[in-house]
Chain A
Amino acid sequence: MALKETPVLDFGYDRYDFKDPEQYVYKSRKGLSKQVVEEISGLKGEPDWMRQFRLKSLEIFRKKSLPTWGGDLSTLNFDEIYYYVRPTEKQRHSWDEVPEYIKNTFDRLGIPEAERKFLAGVGAQYESEVVYHKIRSDLEKEGVIFLDTDTAVREHSDIVKQYFGTVVPPEDNKFAALNSAVWSGGSFIYVPEGVHVEMPLQAYFRINAQNMGQFERTLIIAEPGSFVHYIEGCTAPVYSTDSLHSAVVEIIVKKGARVRYTTIQNWSKNVYNLVTKRTVAYEDATMEWVDGNLGSKLTMKYPSVYLLAPGAKGDILSIAFAGRDQHQDAGGKVVHVAPYTTSTIVSKSISKENGRASYRGLLKVHKGAVGVRSSVRCDALLLDETSRTDTYPYIEIEEEQVTVGHEATVGKVGDDQIFYLMSRGISEAEALSMIVMGFIEPFAKELPMEYAVELNRLIELEMEGSVG
């Protein structure tokens, strides 16, 4: 089959690749300093504890070194980045009030339409600030809080203060420290005991400016017996210089609650995407990470779950598509602290055109965590000779009464499968695309319909003309 020569193709990113002229009310100076951090805090009118938290984090950031593993960070220049850009004075709750050019952006991305159709709430972040936020009023009445994190700091200071920085402390890693110092925006979700939010809540993150750094901070608290599904999407226009996205996500899932967190990351190929996401799960709680990485120049992201009480469950489904010259260093981390906890990690990756997809995972079982069951499965598909895949599944077991397994396979698309589909009249390119879709089907299945359709479309774009 003529799969040997894969022509170089352009990534069909047109729909996301448009730029607005910069019309900002505030843009910080390039680079990071104590002054910049104080300005951010000042502009936000934050309580003193948060200001102190930021300054302390800045110190930690300076002391911490960059990770020596994972992707190549040598071209990331912290001095060339704008750490804070405020596009509007005020956040709106109706699309009509959002400044025209920003509204147009989100219209083109289909967000208001999606909100009408199938979402329980929407947040839209443009550069550093959330410009639009709305939750269905019935949920609001039930006590569900869905706000941008800045507003939450002001309006629900007691809850935020109790949990903020407890799951991902600034000391955790250099990028968590950076986020803690300059964070802005992100979502705050609080679901009261027993409340099930049946439709998903969504946040959409857009970077528009060049050399922009986006540092949203998301905090989700699911009280006992509650359920919520949160979806995030990310895009940016294509620039020749690099932008940085470095978020921190903290989730607390209490007894018997369930949280599902879905990401469809489609940053343009000049964005460093270095994100720390972590959950603590209590008795019989369930955390599900559904993490799709399609875009960015380099992604380093390993959503994690700490299973702190018996019966807690963590599932991580990670898919990475490393297109031309991209490096997706993704995976997952599960720490079994308590006995009788279970976890599964499924990773699927596709590499093509010099792309590199790495699975990096840690499965850790603490002493005393008896009766733990865990399985890790990684499958990689390589579409041409220049692509690369790695698997680094670290497993640390300190307890003997456990059952853990790890399996991985690497392969290319089978010629016989392609021929079989072609014998039914399907072109080679379509056949390849169908097989790739089939490969990631377990992931698409987990997405709400509209996202699955979008995902398929994105992959079709990536695959288009992959066959000579």
Chain B
Amino acid sequence: MKQEGEVCYLDEDAVYRLSRHLDEPEWVMEKRRKAFHIAESLPLPSSRYTDLRRLNLKKIQISLPAIEKSSEGVPVWMGSAFKENTVFVQRDSTVVYQHLPESLSLKGVILADFHTAVQEHPDLLKRYWMTENISSEAGKMCALLGAFNTGGLFLYIPEGIQIPFPLHIRFLNSTKGISLFTPLLMILEKGSGVTFLQEFHSVFGESESERGDGLPPGCYTQVVEVFLKEGASLHFASLENHHIQMPAFYFKKAILGSESKVNWTVGWMGGDITQSRLDNHLIGEGAQAEDLQIFFGAGHQHYDLSSNLVHKARRTSGDVLVKGVLRDRARSVFQGLIQILPEGQNANAYQAAHTMLLNAGARSDAIPSLEIQANDVRCTHSASTGQIDEDQVFYLMSRGLTENEAKKMMVEGFFEPAVRRIPICGVQESFKRLVDQKWRGTP
């Protein structure tokens, strides 16, 4: 009975078929079923800034994934160079490459796709995965992920283990017309630390088994849940470079214990409509969260980004910086909330969103909100939107640069202070390369 590759719509029957196909225990199926009912009860996350009516959920299809791991799906262009530091490659929902050094697995570090994790580490998944009402809190797409997730990644780092090199993960989308719901769960025990880097590639047309020629790409949804115990630290970098026609939805949430630290770096380059929400809950004293997001929108791209800081303990600090450039008819909206609860005395919180518009037709909105219930805090936010400064362009041109070069230089200059803050070497370069590609790729 070859079910692999079979296509389903997002209905209740598909929940059972998927779960049975993956041979999941009862509790997993139950969890999926519950999430599906929550999804049913929620509206599409349209807002006054983001119109999702084009997204017809009735037409969204997923396919039942292959269960066996295979290495055949690694695209030739990746060659062998990618293996350097790359520990995990997933093509659609199937693991095509996985290599965690033995030294780490012996220490108890776990790196697995969700399907494997459900079988081998049910206790951890039961305890941490989508436990709080995350599915309803984060909206319909997140709830749908709860019901239809496949593939994905589970990372567990035991107490005191510092992983000395970045874990580089790659997600490939290869099948047009098929949507993916990718779950990520990371648990960092006391005093552990890791640098995590994920990259996305759309590789349509390279696979023999490609189907649905002429179809648009499906949509992509990712939910990342991170638990940082006392003193743990995580650098999470994500370079998002989906196909330009692919709608993408992200929900990331970190729960930070005392003296723990998370550093998010997200580069937004691809996608059609992208809707992303990132929440940091600082529940332990002295916890620190840094959120750096950089976007470059062109064509008809639309970035709808939110970032929330919830300070629930003393001496916590949060720092959000969002910088973006828009050209053509691209749009962005940033919504940010800093919440300092009465328990959050001595908190420091910063939030800044700055956008540069390169031409008529682009548009950017910002809604940075504060809710402060403790008095001994330092809290500021700022937002600005402006067009590229014509005087500066002129000045550069008077020194012999073409208009295009001048503007590019200004865009790079605009990103520079943000890029410099990216804490992972290599990612700065990758980001600059993507900006360069994007600049050249769009007329």
Q: Which residues of A contact B (CB under 8 A)?
A: 380, 382-412
Q: Answer yes or no: B380 CB below 8 A from chain A CBs.
A: yes
**Can you list 9 A-B contacts (CB < 8 A)?**
A388-B371, A389-B372, A392-B369, A398-B363, A400-B360, A408-B368, A409-B380, A410-B372, A412-B377
Is there an interface contact between A408 and B380, defined as CB atoms closer than 8 Å? yes
Bound CA–CA A408/B375 (angstroms)? 15
Bound CA–CA A407/B372 (angstroms)? 16
Is there an interface contact between B365 and A405, defined as CB atoms closer than 8 Å? no
Is there an interface contact between B345 and A395, defined as CB atoms closer than 8 Å? no
Bound CA–CA A11/B359 (angstroms)? 54
Nearest chain A CB to B213's CB is how many angstroms away?
37
**Residue from A395, A399, A402, A403 whose CB has the most chain B CB atoms within 10 Å:** A395
Is there an interface contact between B363 and A410, defined as CB atoms closer than 8 Å? no
Is there an interface contact between B381 and A411, defined as CB atoms closer than 8 Å? no
Is there an interface contact between B360 and A392, defined as CB atoms closer than 8 Å? no
Q: Which residues of chain A are within 8 angstroms of B345 by Cβ–Cβ distance?
A: 385
> 9 new A-B pairs (CB below 8 Å) besides A395-B365, A407-B381?
A382-B375, A385-B375, A386-B342, A388-B373, A396-B365, A397-B385, A398-B363, A406-B366, A406-B381
Known A395-B383, A400-B361, A406-B382: A385·B376 in contact at CB below 8 Å: yes
Bound CA–CA A386/B372 (angstroms)? 10
Q: Which residues of chain B are within 8 angstroms of A404 by Cβ–Cβ distance?
A: 384-386
Is there an interface contact between A411 and B370, defined as CB atoms closer than 8 Å? no
Nearest chain A CB to B241's CB is how many angstroms away?
25
Q: Answer yes or no: B357 CB below 8 A from chain A CBs.
A: yes
Chain B residues numbered 382-435 whose CB sits less than 8 Å from any CB in chain A:
382-387
Is there an interface contact between A388 and B372, defined as CB atoms closer than 8 Å? yes
Nearest chain A CB to B329's CB is how many angstroms away?
10
Known A397-B363, A410-B377, A412-B376: A402·B385 in contact at CB below 8 Å: yes
Is there an interface contact between A395 and B367, defined as CB atoms closer than 8 Å? yes
Bound CA–CA A397/B331 (angstroms)? 10
Is there an interface contact between A380 and B372, defined as CB atoms closer than 8 Å? yes
Bound CA–CA A398/B365 (angstroms)? 8
Bound CA–CA A403/B364 (angstroms)? 11
Is there an interface contact between A397 and B364, defined as CB atoms closer than 8 Å? yes
Bound CA–CA A405/B387 (angstroms)? 12
Q: Which residues of B contact A (CB under 8 A)?
A: 48-49, 342, 345, 357, 359-387
Q: Which residues of chain A are within 8 angstroms of B361 by Cβ–Cβ distance?
A: 400
Known A383-B375, A403-B387, A412-B375: A395·B366 in contact at CB below 8 Å: yes
Smallest Cβ-Cβ distance to A391: which chain B residue: B370
**Residue from A394, A402, A410 whose CB has the most chain B CB atoms within 10 Å:** A410
Chain A's interface: helix, strand, loop or mixed, by majority?
strand
**Residue from A384, A387, A391, A402 whose CB has the most chain B CB atoms within 10 Å:** A391
Known A389-B372, A390-B369, A401-B387: A408·B364 in contact at CB below 8 Å: no
Is there an interface contact between A411 and B387, defined as CB atoms closer than 8 Å? no
Is there an interface contact between A400 and B365, defined as CB atoms closer than 8 Å? no
Bound CA–CA A124/B13 (angstroms)? 72
Smallest Cβ-Cβ distance to B335: which chain A residue: A394
Bound CA–CA A382/B375 (angstroms)? 5
Is there an interface contact between B375 and A393, defined as CB atoms closer than 8 Å? no
Is there an interface contact between B359 and A400, defined as CB atoms closer than 8 Å? yes
Nearest chain A CB to B335's CB is how many angstroms away?
10
Q: Which residues of chain B are within 8 angstroms of A396 by Cβ–Cβ distance?
A: 48-49, 365
Among B357, B373, B380, point to the contact of A407 (Cβ < 8 A).
B380
Is there an interface contact between A408 and B370, defined as CB atoms closer than 8 Å? yes
Q: Which residues of chain B are within 8 angstroms of A411 by Cβ–Cβ distance?
A: 377-379
Bound CA–CA A393/B345 (angstroms)? 24
Smallest Cβ-Cβ distance to B376: which chain A residue: A412
Is there an interface contact between A402 and B379, defined as CB atoms closer than 8 Å? no
Smallest Cβ-Cβ distance to A357: which chain B residue: B372
Is there an interface contact between B367 and A394, defined as CB atoms closer than 8 Å? yes
Among A385, A401, A403, A406, point to the contact of B374 (Cβ < 8 A).
A385
Q: Which residues of chain A are within 8 angstroms of B367 by Cβ–Cβ distance?
A: 392-395
Bound CA–CA A393/B338 (angstroms)? 13
Bound CA–CA A396/B374 (angstroms)? 30
Known A380-B372, A390-B370: A400·B387 in contact at CB below 8 Å: yes
Known A392-B369, A395-B367, A400-B357: A406·B383 in contact at CB below 8 Å: yes
Q: Which residues of chain A are within 8 angstroms of B371 by Cβ–Cβ distance?
A: 388, 390
Nearest chain B CB to A10's CB is how many angstroms away?
21
Nearest chain A CB to B181's CB is how many angstroms away?
32
Known A408-B380, A411-B379: A391·B369 in contact at CB below 8 Å: yes
Smallest Cβ-Cβ distance to B377: which chain A residue: A410
Is there an interface contact between A410 and B382, defined as CB atoms closer than 8 Å? no
Nearest chain A CB to B9's CB is how many angstroms away?
35
Q: Which residues of chain B are within 8 angstroms of A412 by Cβ–Cβ distance?
A: 375-377
Bound CA–CA A389/B380 (angstroms)? 12
Bound CA–CA A407/B381 (angstroms)? 6
Known A405-B382, A411-B377: A382·B372 in contact at CB below 8 Å: yes
**Residue from B48, B359, B372 whose CB has the most chain A CB atoms within 10 Å:** B372
Bound CA–CA A396/B48 (angstroms)? 10
Q: Which residues of chain A are within 8 angstroms of B342 by Cβ–Cβ distance?
A: 385-386
Q: Which residues of chain A are within 8 angstroms of B363 by Cβ–Cβ distance?
A: 397-400
Nearest chain A CB to B315's CB is how many angstroms away?
15
Is there an interface contact between A407 and B382, defined as CB atoms closer than 8 Å? yes
Q: Which residues of chain B are within 8 angstroms of A406 by Cβ–Cβ distance?
A: 366, 368, 381-384
Is there an interface contact between A409 and B379, defined as CB atoms closer than 8 Å? yes
Bound CA–CA A147/B374 (angstroms)? 47
Nearest chain B CB to A345's CB is how many angstroms away?
13
Smallest Cβ-Cβ distance to B337: which chain A residue: A392
Bound CA–CA A127/B84 (angstroms)? 80
Q: Which residues of chain B are within 8 angstroms of A386 by Cβ–Cβ distance?
A: 342
Bound CA–CA A276/B369 (angstroms)? 23
Q: Which residues of chain A are within 8 angstroms of B375 by Cβ–Cβ distance?
A: 382-385, 387, 412
Smallest Cβ-Cβ distance to B380: which chain A residue: A409
Bound CA–CA A388/B373 (angstroms)? 4
Is there an interface contact between B384 and A390, defined as CB atoms closer than 8 Å? no
Nearest chain B CB to A102's CB is how many angstroms away?
43
Smallest Cβ-Cβ distance to A406: which chain B residue: B383
Q: Which residues of chain B are within 8 angstroms of A408 by Cβ–Cβ distance?
A: 368, 370, 380-382
Smallest Cβ-Cβ distance to B389: which chain A residue: A403
Nearest chain A CB to B204's CB is how many angstroms away?
33
Bound CA–CA A405/B354 (angstroms)? 9
Is there an interface contact between B369 and A410, defined as CB atoms closer than 8 Å? no
Nearest chain A CB to B389's CB is how many angstroms away?
10
